Structure 1
Amino acid sequence: MNSRLLKSLLRSLPVTALVLALPLSAAPAFAVDVAGTTGGVVRSATGDEATAPTLSIQIDTESAAVDDDEPLRLTITVDNTTGADLASGRVRIAAGSSTIGSSATLHAHLDGTDPLPTPTDLVDVTVPSVAADTSYTSETITVPHDRLAMPADYGAVPITATFATAGTSIAAHDTYIAAAAEPTNTIELSIAMPITAPTGQNGLISADSLATYTAAGGVLSRQLDGAAGRDVALAVDPLIIASIRALGAAAPASALAWLDRLSSISNETFALQFADADGAVQAAAGADSLLEPLSFDFAIPEDYTAVVPTETATPDPTETPDPDGDDAGGDDADAIPTSEDLLEFDWSMDGMIWPAEGTVTAADLDVFAGSGVEETILSSGNVADATAHPAASRVGDRDALVSDDAVSSALRQAATAVTASDFADAVSTISAELAVSAREQGATGRAMLATLDRGWPPTASRLGEALDAVSDLPTVDPIALSDVRDEERIDVALADVEPDASRTGAVSLLMDREAQLTEFSSVLTTPALLTGRERVQILTLLSVDWADTNDEWSEALSAHSQQTTDLLGSVSILNSSDVLLVGNESAIPFGVRNDSPYDVQVVIDATPSNIRLDVGEPQTVEVSAESRQTVRVPVKAQLGNGDVGLTVTLSSVSGVRVGNPVTATVAVRADWEGIGAVIAVVLVVAMLVAGIVRTVLRRRTRLAERADAKGAAAAKGAVDAKGTAAAETDPATPASDTSDSGDTAPRPDTEERP
């Protein structure tokens, strides 16, 4: 069970929840100081109030009205919450002899501030001792009709019950309806009821939640079951309608059927602010106009398919199909719906707003009017004059519909009653309130407004029964809310209201953070995906239903603030290590991180800290959702050596800065390249020279070797020639072959012989 729904149940039934936990209890004890609630306030007649025991008595009027011969049936309950046993005593029950003539007198009697005389003794009841921290509830007490001394006219008659025991005397006050005669006056009553789903903080209602809420017995189904076709105007939260339509054909069948049913009922309807956001807290937080949804693109499924109508017209066999397909719908049938498509509804009334009860100031009304609001629903507690609450009112030049808190409170108790006794007691209270209002001067023909509450309890099952019971009261003439709006206005003044500083401060922070996200969204390829979701989430956090759950609302605000912080820091430049630049040109890598669920387009720009480094033009890059990408920043060394701080920033195409700048240190050593080149050239030249020298030396060596070889050959030839000549002149010497030498000249040292 949703914990806030459980709290709503306990708020609606503060006494019943207590009594159900006690096995001897048969009816709820009332000890609540709220005008118009059953039983009013119990006050101690003796002893110091600071130390007096806390006791209460409830008169449970099981009869909604007492006719000319019917008895009065009631019960009493004594609660002992003092921590000590309570001695036995007696309860004296007495009634008045005339009907109550004004609402102020009725409320003063019920809350014990000015009890009415009750001279007619009805019955004494003995109450046994009550153990500490327990309660005692009597059996049904029946008071014979002839003991009532009932007035002859129709109206509410005061009752007082007094419990006395040793050292303690307390009293409780209530009324019963004398119905021996027909009422001489009636009052027109209009009822307004909000149709809302349990609030959340994540935007639209999920498909699973819609299936639960619109199933048989679900909260939305029970609301329509109890209200459809009855005298009640329905104030519907457009969030429900948009959530169903955004899913298209994927919406639960029960949700589609619920929406069709809402569209076809005869009740008057008007729209609450989206997500039932509280307009008063928005105005108090400084908003110039009421917040509205920006886009629902974030909620449309990628595979969106439109709902196929369940009823189709029979085609005309003589009709020629349009060759262009315009009549068939074609691609338009599954076109992505616009915000207007999702919110479209045939409202009976428009231009209305229903803020949280008792919170509206005159300045708020001006903000509402600036947002197109024509009528504001106010609670009577928000109005300075608490004695008369005509529905059709005017505050300055602003129209308002003022609901009666006492009647509304009793109606809510009747709708959420667990037992038949609780229900009858609540209806009796409504009857008394309306009977007294009808008797007041000028009441004939005056319309009143009663409202039901937000935060529908999961056990509420008597809504339809309560609405029927109120409509059937003899003093009530049901009237449509639209007719009330057409009535002549009565000027009223607003009560002094001091806005809750903690709530308005929180809402101001929400608006400021939204402005930051709007700037951040400029880096998204589709900014509406973020801005649309953020606006819807803010509106859900401003729902009226959060008003009484401060702890849970604070938790929801904290979670949303953390989500915003994470998104604002989700796109950034990753820190780069220091770089050594030994050339004139290079490209330094930087990482771009995108942890968001959206595709982004960013401009990366680098700025050097001095003129030693020149940087290229900014680059625009796209980074997919939840990914990282490396971007290389081109740089060029300019003049001299030294360290340069290279600061890199990210921004959107429109110039909005994103993330924190990152600075990397670049050690520029540009002349190392020149020195290295010189050394390389010298080495190459040296190698070339060495190669040349080596080649020359080798060639010289080869040439010398060849010359030596030739000289040796020549010497050898000369020797050979000399030997041949000697052989020719010496017969003893064998002849030698001289064919190769070709030298026949005699050697100088050889003598020619004859």
Structure 2
Amino acid sequence: MTAITPEHGFRARLRRLAGGTAVLAIALGAYTVALPSTAIAAGGSSSDDEQSIGFHVSAGLRGLVAPGSATTAMITLQNDTDSKLSGGQVQVELSKTPLTDEASVTSWLDEGEAPGDFATIGSETTAPLEADTSATATVFVPADTLSDLTPGVYPLRAELTGAKTASATDDRATAVAAAATSVLVVADSQTTQVGVLVPVTATPEGGALLSSDELAALTAPDGALTAQLDGVAGTTAVLAIDPSILTAIRVLGSSAPRSAQDWLTRLEALPNARFALQFGDADATAQAQAGLPALLQPTTLAPFLDPANFPQAPASVSSTDGPSATPGPSPSPTNTPQLPDDQELTAVEGALPRILWPDDDLGPDDLSSFTRYLGEGTTTVVSSAALGGQSAAHATLGGNDLLVTDTGLSESLSDVAAEADPLDRQRLLAEAAALLLLAEDRVAGAPLLVGLDRDENRDADALRDAISAADSIGFELSALRATPPVPAALTSQADPARATAVNELLADEGTLTAFSSILTDPQVLLSPERIRILRTLAVGSSAKSFADGVEKHRKRTTETLAAVSIPPSSTIQLLTANADLPIAVRNDLPWPVTVQLFVSPTDPRLEVTPMTETVVEANSTKRVKVPVSARVGSGEVDLRLSLYSPTGVQIHGQQEIRVAVRAEWETIGLVIFGGLAVLLITLGVIRTVRRKRHEAAEEAEAEAELEKLDEVAAEAEVSTEDEVVVEAESDAPAPTTGDKTGDGRQIE
């Protein structure tokens, strides 16, 4: 494999500064926060405001100088107060009594305690510093100052004196004293090969696989997964990849976020060596100690696939023989999408096979189990703490191949990778540099291996600093595995709590498997459940967090088993001899379920249909109608209810409801209603007859009145006519001579 080495990394600077020098000195600084002393300038008074001054020291350009040559100590001051910081005097001191082990290095950096006397190796005056700003100063260290230092780790410190902060409102001034501790590492040019293992993991918030939204956030330019690739790019770090991340992207098909697809492409293009962690980074040690015959794997990933997100499979075309054969029509896509299988979804391209990185609480039998799980040639990554401090990177135990990470150095560089603040990171880098030298002395030229913690929130620059502080140019994991192993012995003790938890989780899974028979496709429940179990067993959790995770998972299982049930019911009133009793069945699952409701009475006075099968839709409650028949007029009867799956698995335990039978009320009600109906009909008939008679009488009376009126009118009309005739006769003139009579005769 060809590794790309960054030009700005630790090793690049080593090459540029050291060149062909045989002896190197590594000096990395520490960072402290200094509070002002109670000293007061003339004419001032004590200030109650707490001030903060950041003070950091390092020697050389990230600490590389050749013994006997001149170097420069870099001082960084950061004024986080609200006042201007005056100039002061910086004095850099060195103890020529080396720190010989990890404990003494930690004691010096954490507590400021170191053996031997300190001597001044340089001093410098600092310039005034405005509020909320930072500045650097350099202290020249003469060449002859380091000439008598032999390879080792030496305490280095710097002190700031004479600086004062001035109040913005009055003439008060407060004296400031600050100190910083560091180490100066003097070492021969590095010949030890050092590799760094970087786990790449990501845990979903609550689901089995990372969701589309989570992937979009993690693979965004400022996302955590993007930072991990940025941090390892250009280094020889070995990647330990959780396949569940790749699976989460692949199951989404064309609907996966563009940034996630690009991230996957970028990961596969990196030249770094890699191997696959177990799915979900599950702990193989706990599984081996639980006596499992094989490592747990996802049951199936098919429930996570949506056919709409995958291309249709092209139709196959049968070949035709003979040069004169007429070509057939071009193949057209079929209606069946081409879905990837589980192996394609979980594959880590270019991964080295048969490597496990489990928890350290293992024993010799566990190593044999790992070989049984993965086959001959299995390599297990363990920490030196599990081997009594043996730090050589390649070891063997009982014929089992081991890769050993140095515990102290791994923890120190893990702290570096987790520290986002560049100044705070310098102190951690100083400790890592010292521990690296001490580890190289212990292994006497044998390769070293660093295993960073499982950390899903690393800063890219911090991760790169951690890797560059240790990894060797051209480091190859395959070459390390080919080196002669050193014998080792396990000193770690098995943790029975983890093995017990595995068996408990699998027992719960067995209960869920039986429960899932109510589903059309049980894997929609069982596949995510298995992945959650794997994540619960993830490596790197403390005893407390592991116990909390197991408890949380078991609580979730209990809630799932209670998701399909018969809600409590009040007494049901049965007012007829034959009726359908409504029995509620609740389904809180996100899928439809098929259940069988069994009902049996506690008294033969009530006959019921013993079993009713029904489908309850997702997240709903359905009232199942159960036919019943009462044999007696009245009484109270208890019904025993229970739910079973179509395969006979009990889903809900026996529950009783009370039925108050009032069957005679039906007859009484019918009689009453019948009597009322007859009465109402009779009253209606009587009322109708009376109304008809009344209407007939009124009509006869009206007709008589009309006849009477007609007679009166007729008589009045005759009388009027007679009067008109008489009046006409009286008014007529007497006839004259010559007139004719009415019969035509002439009157004389």
Q: SS state of the match for residue 211, structure 1?
A: helix
Specify the SS of the correspondent of 1:65. strand
Secondary structure of the 2:402 match is strand
Match for residue 585 of structure 2 among 569, 589, 592? 592
Distance in structure 2 (CA, Å) of the matches to 1:223 and 1:267: 13
Contact 1:384 1:496 in 2 (8 A): no
Deviation at 1:460, TM superposition (A): 3.1
CA-CA distance at 1:243 after TM superposition: 0.7
SS at 1:256 equivalent: helix
Cross-structure match for 2:141: 144
> Which shifted more, 277-286 or 334-343?
277-286
- How far apart are 1:94 and its partner, in Å? 4.1
Alignment of 1:44-63 (within 5 A): 59-63=57-61
Query: How big is the shift at 1:638?
Result: 6.8
1:270 aligns with 2:278: no
Could you list the per-position Cα deviations for residues 299-320 of structure 1 after superposition, in whole angstroms to 9, with x for gaps in the alignment?
33363424999xxxxxxxx999
Q: Is the 8 A contact 1:249 1:307 kept in 2?
A: no
Deviation at 1:255, TM superposition (A): 1.6
CA distance in 2, matches of 1:424, 1:415: 11
- C-alpha distance after superposition, 1:145-197 (max 9, x if no partner): 335233476554443668999xxx99976432346xx53x6211111111123
Whether 1:494 and 2:491 are equivalent positions in the alignment is yes
Q: What code does the residue aligned with 2:225 have? A: L
Work out whether residues 394 and 491 of structure 1, in 8 Å CA contact, stay in contact via their aligned partners in 2: yes
Residue aligned with 1:478, SS? coil
Kindly provide the CA deviation profile for residues 600-641 of structure 1, in whole angstroms up to 9, marking residues without a partner as x. 111222222234444445333222223344434344567998
SS of residue in 2 equivalent to 1:408: helix
Give me the TM-score of the superposition, normalised by structure 2: 0.64
Question: In the alignment, which residue of structure 2 is the partner of 1:437?
Answer: 439
Alignment-derived partner of residue 516 in structure 2: 521
The alpha carbon displacement at 1:650 in A equals 0.9
**C-alpha deviation, 1:126, in angstroms:** 9.5
Per-residue deviation at 1:547? Answer: 4.9
Alpha-carbon shift at residue 652 of structure 1 (Å): 0.9
In 1: Cα distance, 2:422 partner to 2:664 partner:
98
How much does 1:478 deviate? 2.4
Distance in 2, Cα, partners of 1:590 & 1:495: 58
- The 1:621–1:449 alpha-carbon spacing in structure 2 relative to 1, beyond 3 Å, is same
CA shift in 2, pair 1:321/1:632, >3 Å: farther
Which of residues 647, 657, 664 is equivalent to 1:654?
647
Unaligned runs of 5+ in 1: 1-35, 43-53, 81-87, 129-133, 310-317, 678-754
Distance change in 2, residues 1:534/1:589 (3 Å):
same
What CA distance in whole angstroms lies between the structure 1 residues aligned with 2:88 and 2:402?
A: 51
SS of the residue corresponding to residue 228 of structure 2 reads: helix
Separation (CA, whole Å) in 2 of partners of 1:75 and 1:170: 12
Q: Which residue of 1 aligns with 2:94?
A: 95
C-alpha change, 1:252 and 1:354, in structure 2 (3 Å) is same
Whether contact under 8 Å (1:79, 1:136) holds in the other structure is: yes
The CA deviation string for residues 707-747 of structure 1, in whole angstroms up to 9 with x for no partner, is xxxxxxxxxxxxxxxxxxxxxxxxxxxxxxxxxxxxxxxxx
- Provide the rounded CA distance (Å) in 1 between the counterparts of 2:312 and 2:420: 40
2:347 alignment counterpart = 344
Say which SS state the counterpart of residue 303 (structure 1) adopts.
Answer: helix
Per-residue CA deviations over 1:68-116 (Å, capped at 9, x if unaligned) read 5331414488999xxxxxxx99987543558777767766766679845
Q: 2:124–2:139: 8 Å Cα contact kept in structure 1?
A: no
Higher strand residue share: 2
Q: CA deviation at 1:247?
A: 0.8
The CA distance in 2 between the partners of 1:95 and 1:171, in whole Å, is 13
Trace 1:435-474 onto structure 2 (pairs within 5 A). Answer: 435-438=437-440, 440=441, 443-444=444-445, 446-457=446-457, 459-464=459-464, 467-468=467-468, 470-471=470-471
What is the distance in 1 between the residues matched to 2:222 and 2:325? 48
TM-score normalised over the length of structure 1: 0.64
1:533 to 524, 528, 532: 528
8 Å contact kept, 1:233–1:481? no
1:244–1:453 Cα change, 3 Å: same
Taking a change above 3 Å as real, the CA distance of residues 246 and 568 of structure 1, as seen in their structure-2 partners, is same
Q: What is the correspondence of 1:339-738 to structure 2 with a 5 Å cutoff?
A: 339-355=342-358, 360-362=361-363, 365=366, 369=370, 372=373, 374-380=378-384, 382-383=385-386, 385-386=388-389, 388-394=390-396, 399-412=401-414, 415=417, 429-438=431-440, 440=441, 443-444=444-445, 446-457=446-457, 459-464=459-464, 467-468=467-468, 470-471=470-471, 478-480=475-477, 483-484=480-481, 487-495=484-492, 513-544=508-539, 547=542, 561=555, 564-565=558-559, 568-572=562-566, 575=569, 577-578=571-572, 580=574, 583=577, 587-635=580-628, 643-666=636-659
Cα offset for 1:246? 1.0
Amino acid at match of 2:639: L
Note the C-alpha offset of 1:329: 6.8
Change (3 A) 1:487 1:621: farther
Report how far residue 230 of structure 1 moved. Answer: 2.9
Structure 1 pair 328–415 and aligned structure 2 pair: CA distance change class (3 A): farther
CA distance in 1 between counterparts of 2:183 and 2:239 reads 31
The CA distance in 2 between the partners of 1:355 and 1:321, in whole Å, is 61
Residue range with higher mean Cα deviation, 524-533 or 406-415: 406-415
What letter is aligned with 1:73?
A
Give the SS at the match of 2:227. Answer: helix
| Cα contact 1:96–1:120 (8 A) shared by 2 | yes
Letter in 2 for 1:478: F
Which piece of structure 1 moves more, 102-111 or 648-657? 102-111
- Deviation, structure 1 residue 449: 0.7
Q: Quick one: which amino acid aligns to residue 385 of structure 1?
A: G
2:526 corresponds to which letter in structure 1?
Answer: T
Aligned pair 1:300/2:295, yes or no? no
User: Per the alignment, do residues 117 and 484 of structure 1 end up closer, same or farther by CA in structure 2, a change over 3 Å counting?
Assistant: farther
Summarize the Cα distance change of 1:673–1:413 in structure 2 as closer, same or farther, 3 Å threshold: closer
Give, in whole Å, the separation in 1 of the partners of 2:569 and 2:420: 64
Distance 2:324 2:184 in 1: 71
Within the candidate set 226, 231, 234, 2:231 is matched to 226
Q: Does residue 73 of the first structure (1) align with residue 73 of the second (2)?
A: yes
CA 1:154/1:665 → structure 2, altered by over 3 Å: closer, same or farther? closer
CA distance in 1, matches of 2:29, 2:545: 27
Once the two structures are TM-superposed, the CA of residue 427 in structure 1 deviates from its matched residue by 5.1
Structure 1 residues 462 and 383: CA distance shift in structure 2, 3 A: same
Distance 2:503 2:416 in 1: 38
Partner SS for 1:383? helix
Task: Say if 1:650 and 1:225 are closer, same or farther in 2 by CA, change over 3 A.
Answer: same
**1:272 Cα shift?**
1.8
The SS at the match of 1:330 is: strand
- Output one character per residue of 1:333-387: Cα deviation in whole Å (capped at 9) or x when no partner: x24444333213334223333346xx5243893696388264433333x33533x
User: CA deviation digits over 1:645-688, x for unaligned, max 9?
Assistant: 321211112222222434344567899999999xxxxxxxxxxx
